[in-house]
Amino acid sequence: MKKIVACFFLLSVAVFSSSAQSEANYDESKVPVFVLPPLLANEDGKKVSSTQEWENDCRPEILALLADQEYGVMPAGDFSTKYEVVAVNPKSLGGKATCKQVKITFGKGYIEQPVILLMYLPNQVKGKAPLFMGYNFGGNQTVHPDPEIIPTSEAQRGAVRSRWPLEKIIAAGYGVVSIDCNQVFPDNRDGLRGSVLRLFGVNDETDLRMNTGQAMTAWAWGLSRALDYLQTDPEVDAKKVIAIGHSRLGKAALWAGAQDTRFAAVVANESGCGGAALSKRAFGETVAIITKGFPYWFCKNFNSYAGNEQSLPFDQHELLALIAPRPLYVASAEGDRWADPKGEYLSAKYASEAYELYGYKGITAEDMPPVNTPVMNRVGYHIRSGNHDITEYDWEQYLRFAKATLK
Ligand code: GTR
């Protein structure tokens, strides 16, 4: 029965998104004329010209606004946390990596929420390893066929192997932590009932205030809690943990990196609407489409901007700017018009003003670079040929970028 319901759900999402995708605007000449709120100005209009003014006033204002109006606030409250190393193989991936699986159990009263961190650390790195951490969509075992991975779902082992080129990442001297997002907040309309929000007394729809966070905020919170663990792991360089994510999980990585400055850098792969793309362009996926299709990703307040993007008191370049001065990489794909590559580029470009305050070069060119021609300053960007996916090509750029920026 559960399976039938899940199939029906997936089918209805697919039907919804394919009809929404064909109705969306992909015509550049129909992009509305829009005005972005100035990035370097406080809510009272006062201009920001130093990093101190940015950090003391402007940045906290933007963070609070995004939490209140878009992603939602994580409810507060006590809970317990337990770490258990549940498996270790020091000779994984042909001896090149140590595979470690760490179960974090969050608890509150009778509620227990286990989340397993699947970790691969490069054996060639003596001492603490830098690493990329991000969610997978459908189960830890989908990341690689490695039979030792503890499954977190029924999906096939290695099903999305191409999205996690572990051997390449390990050879470059980086580790990987992959987490099944469904263990933190199940990625479906009923997800709230199985999510970490239960630790804070949010059990169903009726417990949601207008600005209570849902999946995106829970996922961002989960990445921060995983980082809490990594800070205790002697094999990890917790000062070099890069938050990474593809698509919806790229949105989550951005929101995590924006809130938690312990993340050394952020990579958002084709994160689109509610991620890197400017909402006011209303190109491809819009606020109306995303809040209808995925009402459980954002807070309820965000619904009021559906079909009304021009009234948003912020835009996504402000989310990206919260990552400054830490390295940020935004990536698009040519065939992924749904995620609005140009909107992703412009957002990275406009966010660069915050990087410039710190004396860093961000994205400066007015026009997007040609396909497969990455730009790598303190802010990186590429548009790759091909469709919506995270590929080996994308990872190659992220590894180069990490090497160049995280010294
Ligand atoms: C789509 C959604 C996008 C994007 C994508 C994904 O259906 O409209 O915002 O997040 O899913 O996560 O692959």
4 pLDDT exceeds 80? no
Taking the model in full, what pTM does it have? 0.96
The rounded distance, in Å, linking the Cα atoms of 274 and 160 is 24
With a CB cutoff of 8 Å and minimum separation 6, the contacts of 196 are 106, 113, 184, 185, 218, 221, 222
- Separation of 272 CA from ligand 1 center, angstroms? 8
Indicate the pLDDT class of residue 76, thresholds 50, 70 and 90. Answer: very high
**Catalytic residue selected from 92, 247, 271, 347:** 247
Mapped onto helix, strand or coil, the DSSP state of residue 381 is strand
273 Cβ closer than 6 Å to some ligand 1 atom: yes
How many other C-beta atoms can be found within 10 angstroms of the C-beta atom of residue 190? 14
The rounded distance, in Å, linking the Cα atoms of 109 and 146 is 35
268 pLDDT exceeds 70? yes
Q: Torsions phi, psi of 120, nearest 5? A: -120, 125
Residues 103/112, Cβ–Cβ less than 8 Å? no
Indicate the pLDDT class of residue 372, thresholds 50, 70 and 90. Answer: very high
- Separation of 80 CA from ligand 1 center, angstroms? 32
Indicate the pLDDT class of residue 2, thresholds 50, 70 and 90. Answer: very low
Q: What is the pLDDT of residue 20?
A: 82
5 pLDDT exceeds 50? no
Query: Is residue 7, in this structure, part of any structural domain at all?
Result: no
The rounded distance, in Å, linking the Cα atoms of 255 and 135 is 13
Quick: pLDDT tens for 302-312: 999 999 999 99
Residues 264/401, Cβ–Cβ less than 8 Å? no
Q: What is the pLDDT of residue 14?
A: 54
How many other C-beta atoms can be found within 10 angstroms of the C-beta atom of residue 388? 16
Query: Is residue 305, in this structure, part of any structural domain at all?
Result: yes
Which atom of ligand 1 is nearest to 249's Cα?
12
With a CB cutoff of 8 Å and minimum separation 6, the contacts of 302 are 69, 70, 71, 72, 287, 291
How many domains does one find in the chain?
Answer: 1
Residues 349/285, Cβ–Cβ less than 8 Å? no
Query: Is residue 6, in this structure, part of any structural domain at all?
Result: no
Q: What is the pLDDT of residue 22?
A: 76
Quick: pLDDT tens for 112-169: 999 999 999 999 999 999 999 999 999 999 999 999 999 999 999 999 999 999 999 9
Q: What angle do CA 8, 9, 12 make, to 5 degrees?
A: 85
Query: Is residue 263, in this structure, part of any structural domain at all?
Result: yes
Query: Is residue 386, in this structure, part of any structural domain at all?
Result: yes
**Catalytic residue selected from 17, 224, 304, 388:** 388
State yes or no: is 246 an active-site residue: no
Arithmetic mean of pLDDT over the chain: 96
Length of the chain: 407
Residues 365/375, Cβ–Cβ less than 8 Å? yes
Query: Is residue 164, in this structure, part of any structural domain at all?
Result: yes
Query: Is residue 273, in this structure, part of any structural domain at all?
Result: yes
197 pLDDT exceeds 60? yes
For the segment 201-223, the average pLDDT, to the nearest whole number, is: 98
- Separation of 125 CA from ligand 1 center, angstroms? 35
The rounded distance, in Å, linking the Cα atoms of 260 and 284 is 29
Domain hosting residue 189, numbered range:
12-405
Quick: pLDDT tens for 19-73: 788 789 999 999 999 999 999 999 999 999 999 999 999 999 999 999 999 999 9
257 pLDDT exceeds 60? yes
Query: Is residue 2, in this structure, part of any structural domain at all?
Result: no
16 pLDDT exceeds 60? no
CATH number for the domain that contains residue 386: 3.40.50.1820
